Structure 1
């Protein structure tokens, strides 16, 4: 196996969707991918339901924190191979410069933390986002990334998302 691929999930608040992406990419890939997450305007806390779901996945909770995406634009930051925005507002913002020109895509999901309802409704919303991300990440993990060029990878990232949006 080559080195692990680094994947950064971006959202505005970095408290729910991007956190789930980080945990899922790392736990599902068994070392092939290392997930990271960040936000353009981080809330500085991780949503309690996202923490519980990450714990269920076996992801080390001490690695989870809400942080700014500026951390990943620094020279000493891990090199990112993939950057996925998971909320529409982050996708529309001007992102920092990402060294190495990683493959990018938008996999938009509604914000489960914004659900105004019962605890059951919130859990349903979080589970829906978790399953949507899980389905896409599993397809990404199955790609022969090492055999694809940059443009092919970008096309595949977009195709993965559109596969589920057209169903």
Structure 2
């Protein structure tokens, strides 16, 4: 059976999409191939790398890349993880299902932190939320896709 191809798209491809790619490879690598990209890449966030390493997932070799660098790769699913990426999402072939699953932005939340530990708490929470989402793949994608199709065809 061919693996599902999933792309996680976020603004900077520095944190949430990197975590999602890492979790998918770690937890669902037997059934899914995962990539991540951004609409304005910023480089991989060191705190995201640290938070994932604490959970036993190494994303230190992943790179931050622009969506355009993926060329004409085909995906079964594109999952936008933030509102800006959802609004800026390029057009994909009709067979690609584009879904939005938003998560809080750890760097933004951590900006007002009084300590490194307080900042890391935001990264850990979002890391764990993304893990919970990935654990439900690919079933949750199928359900979301069916639900959005029903909303489009409802009178």
Per the normalisation by structure 1, the TM-score is 0.76
Which residue of structure 1 aligns with residue 153 of structure 2?
A: none
Which residue of structure 1 aligns with residue 146 of structure 2?
A: 155
Does the aligned pair in 2 maintain the 1:24–1:35 contact within 8 Å?
no
Number of aligned residue pairs: give it: 145
Does residue 127 of structure 1 match 2:124? yes
Matched residue SS, 1:41: coil
Which residue of structure 1 aligns with residue 9 of structure 2?
A: 10
Matched residue SS, 1:14: coil
Does the aligned pair in 1 maintain the 2:79–2:100 contact within 8 Å?
yes
Does the aligned pair in 2 maintain the 1:70–1:96 contact within 8 Å?
no
Runs of 5+ consecutive residues of structure 2 not aligned to the other structure: 150-155
Give me the CA root mean square deviation: 2.4
Does residue 108 of structure 1 match 2:102? yes
Does the aligned pair in 1 maintain the 2:106–2:123 contact within 8 Å?
yes
Matches within 5 A, 1:36-115: 36-43=35-42, 45-55=43-53, 56-59=55-58, 61-62=60-61, 64-72=62-70, 74-75=71-72, 77=73, 79-93=74-88, 95-99=89-93, 101-114=95-108, 115=110
Per the normalisation by structure 2, the TM-score is 0.81
Matched residue SS, 1:124: helix
Shift of 1:92: 1.7
Once residues 46 and 8 of structure 2 are traced to their aligned partners in structure 1, the CA distance between those partners, rounded to angstroms, is 18
CA displacement, residues 48-86 of structure 1 (integer Å, 9 cap, x when unaligned):
021223444334632x111101123x23x3x21111111
Matched residue SS, 2:36: strand
